[in-house]
Structure formats: structure tokens, C-alpha cells
Amino acid sequence: MKRYNIKVNGITYEVEVEEVNSELPISNTPVAITEQTPVEGKTLAKAQVKKVPGTGEKIECPMPGTVVNVNVSPGDDIKKGHVMFTLEAMKMENEIIATRDAIIIEVSVVSGSIVNTGDVLAVIE
């Protein structure tokens, strides 16, 4: 097991990397950080694990890009045609609009997030 320090947006994270040989099965299951780890005098917050409600409808990203604006937050009551997100893709700004009246249950991205096709942007009721 090797230890590395990785700096992301000015915050240093300490990670351990385990060498995997071809005999061990590889897991594609995402892993969440569950403990606070002090690094260079800073404490990292615990990861938030959010459950997606079974009754909600996912709003998925139509194309890869960067989220420029997030115009909704959980609990908002939105109407059909409301601009929920602005996405920059291929140097063009694209508006992600509500296709129906709804209530925002969860917002999964923030301004500056890099997203791919199919990523969940929000969950509506």
C-alpha cells in the first residue's frame, strides 16, 4: 500500500493506493470517505451519502459540459419552462429547462461541476 498526497482546489487529500494484481476481482462499486482525516492542519468533512427517493424523477444531463448556473434548490416549486441549470458545452451555454411543473427534491450539482451525459443533475417530485 502506497500513500500519496493529492491537491484538489487548494485542499490536500491523503490517499492510500493498493496495487491490484490480475488474480483479485476488481470492484466497480463507488466508495465514500467515511472518516475525517487531518492533512496539513486541515480536517476534511465526512462525505454525505444521499438516498434518491424512489418516487422522484431524475433530471439527467443531456451532454458533457460544465455547470455554469444552478437556479434551483431543494424544496423549490418550479413551473414548466423554468430554467433549472445553465450548462456550458462546446463553448455554448445550454439551458436545462423544466418539462413540467414540479417540486425539487434534490440538487446533485453545484456551479463549476463537470458533468457527463446521463449524470443526474436533480431529482423532482
Total domains in the chain come to: 2
**Contact (Cβ atoms closer than 8 angstroms) between residue 71 and residue 83:** yes
49 within a domain of the structure (yes/no) = no
My answer on whether 37 and 7 are in the same domain is yes
Q: Are residues 76 and 120 in the same domain?
A: yes
Q: How would you write the pLDDT of the chain (125 residues) with one tens digit per residue?
A: 788 888 887 888 888 887 766 565 555 555 444 334 444 443 333 323 334 445 689 999 999 999 999 999 999 999 999 999 999 988 899 999 998 999 999 999 999 999 999 999 999 98
- 52 within domain boundaries: no
Do 120 and 66 share a structural domain?
Answer: yes
Whole-Å CA distances, 74 to 1, 14, 42, 92, 104: 41, 32, 29, 27, 5
119 lies in which domain range?
A: 57-124
95 within some domain? yes
pLDDT of 99-121, one tens digit each? Answer: 899 999 999 999 999 999 999 99
My answer on whether 84 and 109 are in the same domain is yes
Residue keyed to cell 472518516: 35
